[in-house]
Structure 1
């Protein structure tokens, strides 16, 4: 399973980016026939400051050293981390296409 864990620049609603920790992973879903990714963004509320709430359905631009991608907030876990689902290509190297029989 491909992914990325570490610091990333995260931008919410065209604000200035903040640097927070992310844990992202993805895999090929054979039933849908596409690559999907998801993950967790840690400390976003604290990094943005108290008047800025990030609600479910908000889009985030996540930039890692490898690439950028857009994710949508799907919820907040018990520790205040934002759970995200990828909307675009992932912001990390994904698995390569495999030719031939598996």
Structure 2
């Protein structure tokens, strides 16, 4: 698993802190800038994890997600039918965001 090329996002290992507990998880994250309110919104899925599911029991809860690229506070919502929790946050994401300037410098 690795970073996603040519796209804002991250796919790979992460640490998820919920209350006093920390979980080693795998995530698939994306994000976009919302020009109407000026915020960056990031979101994604946490791969199914039995320990996380047992701890949350399907409840929405605040969490901190840390990847090799950064850390951010967000919220976990109820799981999908495959027991993958959705994670979302506002402002600085836990991954590197490419800008138009970054893309121009790579050419």
**TM-score (norm. length: structure 1):** 0.79
Question: How many corresponding residue pairs?
Answer: 94
What is aligned with 1:65?
A: 68
Distance 1:3 1:27 in 2: 9
Q: Give the unaligned 5+ runs of structure 2.
A: 1-6, 102-107
| Runs of 4 or more consecutive aligned structure 1 residues displaced over 4 Å after TM superposition | none
Q: Structure 1 residues 91 and 38 mapped into 2: Cα distance closer, same or farther (>3 Å)? A: same
- TM-score, structure 2 normalization: 0.76
Preserved CA contact (<8 Å) 2:17 2:65? yes
Structure 2 CA distance, aligned partners of 1:36 and 1:49?
Answer: 24
> How big is the shift at 1:87?
4.0
Which structure: greater helix fraction?
Answer: 2
* Alignment deviations for residues 49-79 of structure 1 (CA, whole Å, 9 cap, x no partner): 73x22511x1111110011111101221110
1:1-44 Cα deviation digits (max 9, x unpaired): 410001101111121x2211101110111222221101111123
Q: Name the residue aligned to 2:10.
A: 4
SS at match of 1:7: strand
Match of 1:92 in 2: 95
Note if 1:53 corresponds to 2:56.
yes
Q: Which runs of 5+ in 1 are unaligned?
A: none
Looking at structure 2, the residues matched to 33 and 97 of structure 1 have their Cα atoms a distance apart, in angstroms, of: 17
